[in-house]
Structure 1
Amino acid sequence: MDIAILGRIGYDLYSEEPHVPLPQVRRFSRYLGGSSANMAVGLSRLGASVGIISCLGNDSLSQFLLDFLKNEKVDTARVQTKPGFLPSLCLTEVAPPDRFPQVFYRHDAVDTLLTSQPGDLDYVAQARMFITNGTSLCASPSREATYRALERAHKAGCRVVLDVDFRAMSWPSPEEAGLAVRLALPFVDVLIGNQPELMLVAGEPTLEAATEKLRSVPVLVSKLGEQGTRVWTGSESVFLPPYKVEVCTTIGAGDGFASGFLYALLQGLPIEECLHYGNAAAAIVVSRLSCSEAMPTMAEVRALLNAQRSVATTPE
């Protein structure tokens, strides 16, 4: 298996009424959500063999999510079932190009009940890359299961990736979230976060101070929003501005970027080329509605890469 992912599988409802405030929306479309699940779909569509470790209920919503992952060729053999508990729910208002308010329901979310089952750690150790996120550290027993998986993946020589994925409603305080991620850093090879997330993890008031403090992570990915992305590898850094597309919704851009970037990294491509793959995947996702179903195929990513490079090399 190429990639094992540990983290939340969520249920998303997106408004079908653009520019209507969320309290007035009457029509929604359902999708699979959750950062880890989105990345699992994204990486699978790009051609990686992917398995996910998570926890769902025995309800009809959980069944929809499980069926969706299976249809996307994501291995769900390590998805646990906790009867009586529900997946997290997210409702999203859609008002392009820059307004996408969300409401999260995560009280006793079933993903926080993940435990280390026999075979889970061996499953992780057999992968070439292990991916998890900060939300998996927000509560017990998923926190302990995540730390154990990080430790085992690191010991097995997997390339370990942690996406900060800070969700305020999941934590008693931002400081507790930052500490939980800092404790995981000794096991991490690739740390991904936006500007506030990296400042949170480092406990620093500026991005410059945060990146300096986190530079010990072999690959530090700093997502700069509409400015682009900078990746630090030791003392060296590579920057790439985002691809310009017509935006439908920015929700899922980070998961799309991570899918493209990490797939290219798994193939051993140079960091700058990995950024191009990440940018292309993110651009395609933001041009569509939803996260999971918006994830592109490799043919779509390569088509956009070729189109962007053609424009860049065309003389004025």
Structure 2
Amino acid sequence: MSPARVAVIGETMLALRSAGQLALNATLTTSIAGAESNVAIGLSRLGHPVSWIGRVGSDAPGDVVLKALRAEGVDVSGAQRDSAGTGMILFDRRLPAVSRVAYARTGSAGSALSPADIDLDDGVAGVHVSGVTPALSESAGAAVQEAFAQARRRGAWISFDINYRARLWSKERARAVLEPFVRGADVVIASPDELALFGSGSGAEAAGTQDAESVAAELIVAGVREVVVKNGAESAFVVTGSERAEQPALRVEEVDPIGAGDGFVAGYLSALLDGAALDERLRRAHKVGAFAVSSVGDWEGLPTRAELDLIGSAGGSVMR
């Protein structure tokens, strides 16, 4: 039997990074960035078959995106080319561990994702999406709805990372659009602040006063299979209908915090695919997240399966 394959859906952009503070004649390096494709690369490096579904422009940045994903073992046969340009993100490295971020993604090819682009085959065991994609456009939100519907018809599980971005929309709008996805997923992943938006209070501000534990319990009652809550550099916990597990985060030297959450998701889903217990899922999630923050870039430092043990147990540090 072939290993279970995961499909991720979302926008991937060309990433430009300055070596230091952005200035005239500064040196920039190119890479790619996108919440879902970061997860895809993380899963691929850990040995899981994974495919990326999205749109890029018929331009050089689009070529870079597809070549980078192929090089990382991610299947891009479901990708579409578009007359609109590929979105771009600029990281201005103001301090060693602090980058200012600017986007050029309005009207991008990625935001033109539509339901017609979603075609999940019977080999897909799981689907992963984040809240960034529905924030890009109405058509992208409709594409996520179609992905949920197809996954349900095929018996695939659905993972949803709330991933709220204040630059893209208000809390009120995010709550209204994302609530069906949050309540319709099998696995919901969020920070406490993100999760609090979806409690039973009326309106985003009222719901935001609820603690993560109570909102997680509400979602389990609503039919979500498991809720994973990331408490940043402190810990993470997961609750199901019958179990609860919590693991402290790992102490590592932080080089670049960007991509830590996506690494965490990749580690968690990897262990889920392996059939690991809840404790082990959280441990692997913390390990992959720790690798992510220990290197510059969204995904460049993500580990292979053989490298996982280079990070110690909870409370340990990177082995040098």
Q: TM-score, normalised by structure 1?
A: 0.88
In the alignment, structure 1 segments of 5+ residues that lack a partner are none
**8 Å contact kept, 1:13–1:29:** yes
Partners of 1:96 and 1:179 in 2: CA distance: 38
The AA in structure 2 aligned to 1:180 is V
Kept after mapping to 1: 8 A contact 2:258/2:293 = yes
Q: CA deviation at 1:149?
A: 0.7
Q: Matched residue of 2:103: which SS?
A: strand
Aligned to 2:210: 206
Map 1:277-296 → 2, pairs under 5 A: 277-296=284-303
Secondary structure at 1:308's aligned position in 2? coil
The aligned residue for residue 111 of structure 1 is: 110
Counterpart AA for 1:247: E
Q: Secondary structure at the match of 1:12?
A: strand
Equivalence for 1:63: 63
Q: 2:31 — aligned with what?
A: 31
- Mean Cα displacement is larger for which, 223-232 or 86-95? 86-95
Tell me the distance in 1 between the aligned counterparts of 2:89 and 2:292. 20
2:252 aligns to what? 245
**Secondary structure of 1:170 counterpart:** coil
Match 2:243 to one of 219, 233, 236: 236
Aligned to 1:12: 15
Which protein has greater RCO, CA pairs closer than 8 Å, 6+ apart?
1
Cα-to-partner distance string for 1:61-93 (whole Å, 9 max, x where unaligned)? 111011000111111011111113322424243
Identity %: 27
Equivalent residue for 2:101?
102
Note the alpha carbon deviations across 1:174-193, whole angstroms, 9 max, x for none. 21112221112343100111
Q: Check conservation: 2:247, 2:314, Cα contact below 8 A.
A: no
Hey, which of these two has a bigger chunk of helix by percent?
Answer: 1
1:137 to 100, 118, 134: 134
Q: In the TM superposition, what is the alpha-carbon distance from 1:153 to its structure 2 partner?
A: 0.5
Cα shift readout 1:174-218 (whole Å, capped 9, x = no counterpart): 211122211123431001111221122334123344334333321
Question: 1:75 maps to which residue?
Answer: 75
**Per-residue Cα deviation, 1:94-149 (whole angstroms, up to 9, x for no partner):** 5345x33322233112212112337x3333x4311110111111212111111011
Q: Report the alpha carbon displacement of residue 270 of structure 1 after superposing the two structures with TM.
A: 0.2
Q: Write the mapping of 1:213-224 to structure 2, written as runs, cut at 5 A.
A: 213-216=218-221, 217-224=224-231
Aligned: 1:85 with 2:58? no
Whether the 8 Å contact between 1:89 and 1:104 is mirrored in structure 2 is yes
Describe the shift of the 1:75–1:273 C-alpha distance in structure 2 as closer, same or farther (beyond 3 A).
same
What displacement does 1:261 show? 0.9
Q: Map of 1:124-273 to 2, 5 A cutoff?
A: 125-138=122-135, 139-171=137-169, 173-202=170-199, 203=204, 204=207, 205-208=209-212, 209-216=214-221, 217-234=224-241, 236-273=243-280
Look up the match of 1:43.
Answer: 43
Q: Distance in 1 between matches of 2:40 and 2:25?
A: 30
Question: What is the RMSD computed on CA atoms of the aligned residues?
Answer: 2.2
Return the letter of the residue paired with 1:272: D
Alignment partners' CA distance in 2, 1:131 and 1:250: 22
- On the 8 A contact 2:228/2:239 being kept in 1, the answer is yes
Instruction: Tell me the distance in 2 between the aligned counterparts of 1:111 and 1:23.
Output: 28
Give the Å deviation of 1:308.
2.6
What residue identity is the alignment partner of 1:95? L
Partner amino acid, structure 2, of 1:195: P
Q: Is the 8 A contact 2:162 2:182 kept in 1?
A: no
Counterparts in 2 of 1:24 and 1:212: CA distance versus 1, 3 Å: farther
**Is contact 1:106–1:170 with CA below 8 Å preserved after alignment?**
no
Whole-angstrom distance in 2 between the partners of 1:63 and 1:104: 19
Return the letter of the residue paired with 1:111: G
Amino acid at match of 2:218: K
Give the conservation status (yes or no) of the 8 Å contact 1:94–1:249: no
Deviation of 1:235 (Å): 5.5
Rounded to whole Å, the distance in 1 between the matches of 2:116 and 2:268 is 30
Q: Number of matched residues? A: 303
Q: Which moved more, 1:70-79 or 1:26-35?
A: 26-35
Distance 1:273 1:256 in 2: 15
Instruction: For 2:30 and 2:262, locate their aligned partners in 1 and report how far apart those are by CA, in whole Å.
Output: 18
Distance 2:173 2:152 in 1: 23
Question: What secondary structure does 1:168 align onto?
Answer: coil
> Which amino acid in the other structure matches residue 131 of structure 2?
G
What is the distance in 2 between the residues matched to 1:197 and 1:224?
A: 11
- C-alpha change, 1:221 and 1:96, in structure 2 (3 Å) is farther
Distance 1:268 1:92, change over 3 A: farther
SS in 2 for 1:278: helix
